[in-house]
Amino acid sequence: MPQDTQENGNKKNNLSEANRAIWLVKVPKYLGKLWDKSPSEMEVATIRIQKPAISSEPFKVSLSLTPELMELEPDSPIASEHELKLCKTAEGTNLTGIFSTLDNEEPSMEGWITHKMQCLPVYNTQYLKMKEHYLRSAKPPRRVKPLNHIVKNYKPVSSHAHNKDDCKRKDGPKMLSKDNIMDLLFQAFEKHQYYTLKDLQFITKQSVFVLKAILKDIGDYNKDPAHKKMWELKEEYRHY
């Protein structure tokens, strides 16, 4: 058994309540604020402990707020019925002591925390009204904001430019037969005598490898400084 008083340095601790068991209860914010508003002499709640039908089950603990406490917030609905659920039971030496001090009096030990519990509101009509009230108050009101400039409205587009480019890349140029490519080349050389490979590729829309294979048969590659790196038809295909 602990002594009634114990010296700690130059101070004395009152240990008369050292054997008392204390429940550490975590309460919702709205309940904690309401208790802070209440006077010290006011009765704020009533705890009921119901014995279970089966001995192996835990006790049912409920907490009911007093009408005097509810009158401190008459405009906001608050759930009056709560349930205390056991979170953890302290065992062995893993105990936490609670001390209190008042003005200049000696510190007093209030007891040891034996149970850690959580206070939860009972799911009923009163709780739903409180939840709805908090949700509405937390939502910012809608406001009309005047605009000093014209807002541009863009019409919807079924196919954007980048989508069209992607389709072109996927489709690629259509492969023509050798006769069709030669017809396009002859038509081009009727207009001009010399062409670069890049120009002929733009006209025929064919790959470089296909054009080079055909041009080697019907054309000559110039190395003269005047028309360097340009193609012209062989003499047997010229009409000029």
Which tokens go with 214?
């055909």
- Closest to 78 measured CA to CA, from 67, 92, 91: 67
Tokens of 208: 């470089």
Distant-in-sequence contacts of 3-11, Cβ < 8 A, 24+ apart: 5/106, 11/106, 11/107
pLDDT value at residue 4: 60
pLDDT for 10 equals 58
The CATH code that applies to domain 178-237 is: 1.10.10.10
Both structure tokens of 134? 């908090």
The residue extents of the domains of the chain are 21-137, 178-237
pTM given for the model: 0.45
CA-wise closest residue to 79 among 65, 91, 67, 96 = 65
- Residues 122 and 126: their CA atoms lie apart, in Å, by 9
Parallel, antiparallel, or unpaired for β 11-14 and 5-8? antiparallel
Do the beta carbons of residue 115 and residue 171 sit within 8 Å? no
Are the C-beta atoms of residues 30 and 78 closer than 8 Å to each other? yes
Residue 205 neighbours by CB distance under 10 Å: 13
Residue 20: both structure tokens together = 């008392």
Dist CA 223 CA 220 (whole Å): 10
Residues facing residue 46 across a β-bridge = 64
Q: Are 3 and 9 in contact (CB under 8 A)?
A: no
The closest of 66, 75, 14 to 41, measured between CA atoms, is 66
* The pair of three-digit structure tokens given for residue 197, joined into one six-digit string: 């490979």
pLDDT per residue, tens digit, the chain (240 aa), is 455 655 555 567 778 777 888 888 898 888 888 888 888 888 989 989 888 888 777 788 899 999 888 888 887 888 889 998 887 766 655 678 888 887 777 788 888 888 888 899 988 888 888 888 888 777 777 788 888 888 887 777 777 777 777 666 665 567 888 888 888 888 888 888 889 999 998 888 888 888 888 888 888 898 888 888 899 988 887 775
Q: What are phi and psi of 132, to 5 degrees?
A: -65, -40
Which residue in 5, 78, 75, 70 sits closest to 44, CA to CA? 70
What's the rounded Cα separation, in Å, for the pair 179 and 200?
A: 15
